[in-house]
Amino acid sequence: MIFVTRTFLPKAQDYLSILSKSWKSKCLTNNGPHISTLQSTLEKRFLLNHCIVSNGTVSLQLILKALDCKGEVITTPFSYVATTNAILWEGGLPVFADIGLGTCNANPKAVEQAIGPNTKGILLTHVYGIPCDVDALEKIAEKHGIWLVFDAAHAFDVKYKGKSLFSYGTAASASYHATKIFHTVEGGGIYSKDETLMKSVRQLMNFGHTSPESFDVPGINAKNSEFHAAMGLSILPHMEHIIARRKAISERYDAQLPNGLSRPLIPDETEYNYAYYPVFFPDEKSLLDTKAALEKEGIGTRRYFYPSLNTLPYLTSTQPCPVAEDIASRVLCLPLYPDLSDEEQTFILHHLHRIFGA
């Protein structure tokens, strides 16, 4: 089976050499030395305040809790379900703004049109690591006096206009899940320039402690462990290779895709990380037929993202989003990971041409 993604793992001895220090320190959690080292390393890498939490969904929830999202939150219908669920879990009401056809990201005009008297803020996703129109969105948020948060789960090491995507908006949430290009097996991160917000987040993620014996807010335990941080530290030195290999595979796909398939647009001035390889089919039937035929050959694919989130059955109110609903019905991610061999990619392309290009 050729999977749609596979987790990158360092050499076992590299991971174990870092992890062995935990046997000496006897520290496994509560911001031990590995967490502290990884956190400071990532802060230097992205020039931002940062904290490491248990996973990317919790990172979204902590940001929304700290910002008091009880009210309407403008969001995208084209993302993983965690984006919408985080709003619901923190007592907010998702209001969906449709996406643009080219990048799959929220259309700034639709975002502004959705803002009303009960709007508390905006939560949008850099889909597939492709930058949202951050310039327009920051102007909209400033004009209306509301916060702007980015679900940047796919955006590790992506730069726009020379700056990390994590640096835009009020805050950004990262995912360090095993399927991401940088991972700590399970984990997430929060990035922000707002010192007050980061102070609140750090308190919320540690039971609400203000001192060992005082609690000022009803916090939770969202900390991560030394074992997870050790994985992150052992993967960081490989990031240049990981992104270069993903780029090479993506460019070969680009050059050899069958006619009739198209790709999202990446804005100018973007240093991309090649997080996913989504392709658009002409219609849902051709997607489903191709997906089924590829799976018979042992080639895994994924309808990422499907369904459009404005159609979730547990929403109490929703809005039509025709562009997102259309794109969600005909987008399919092809296999992409550093260990995908040239021979495997040739096999994939051969059957893609045979099935779809026939």
Q: Label each residue of 239-274 as H, E or C.
A: HHHHHHHHHHHHHHHHHHCCCCCECCCCCCCEECCC
Identify whether 36 is part of a domain: yes
Span 178-204, mean pLDDT?
96
Higher local confidence (pLDDT), 28 or 236: 236
Residue 211 reports pLDDT greater than 80: no
Identify whether 300 is part of a domain: yes
Identify whether 243 is part of a domain: yes
Of 131, 125, 97, 132, which Cα lies nearest the Cα of 111? 97
Bridge-based pairing of strands 93-96 and 278-280 is: unpaired
Whole-number Å distance between alpha carbons of 194 and 124:
18
Whole-number Å distance between alpha carbons of 316 and 301:
32
How does pLDDT run across 253-270, given as a tens digit for each residue?
999 999 999 999 999 999
Range of the domain at 294: 237-355
Whole-number Å distance between alpha carbons of 64 and 67:
5
Identify whether 5 is part of a domain: no
Mean pLDDT for the chain? 96
Residue 210 reports pLDDT greater than 90: no
Residue 103 confidence (pLDDT): 87
Residues 197 and 273 in one domain: no
The CATH number for 123's domain is 3.40.640.10
User: Residue 144: beta bridge partners?
Assistant: none
Residue 213 reports pLDDT greater than 90: no
Residues 271 and 174 in one domain: no
Residues 304 and 224 in one domain: no
Residue 156 reports pLDDT greater than 90: yes
CA angle 272, 186, 193 (to 5 degrees): 55
Whole-number Å distance between alpha carbons of 124 and 126:
7
How does pLDDT run across 312-333, given as a tens digit for each residue?
999 998 889 999 999 999 999 9
Tokens of 110: 């639709």
Residue with tokens 């993302």: 79
Q: Of 197, 214, 236, which residue is a domain's last?
A: 236
Whole-number Å distance between alpha carbons of 258 and 249:
16
Whole-number Å distance between alpha carbons of 118 and 49:
30
Spatial contact of 187 and 233, defined as CB atoms under 8 Å apart: no
Residue 358 reports pLDDT greater than 70: no
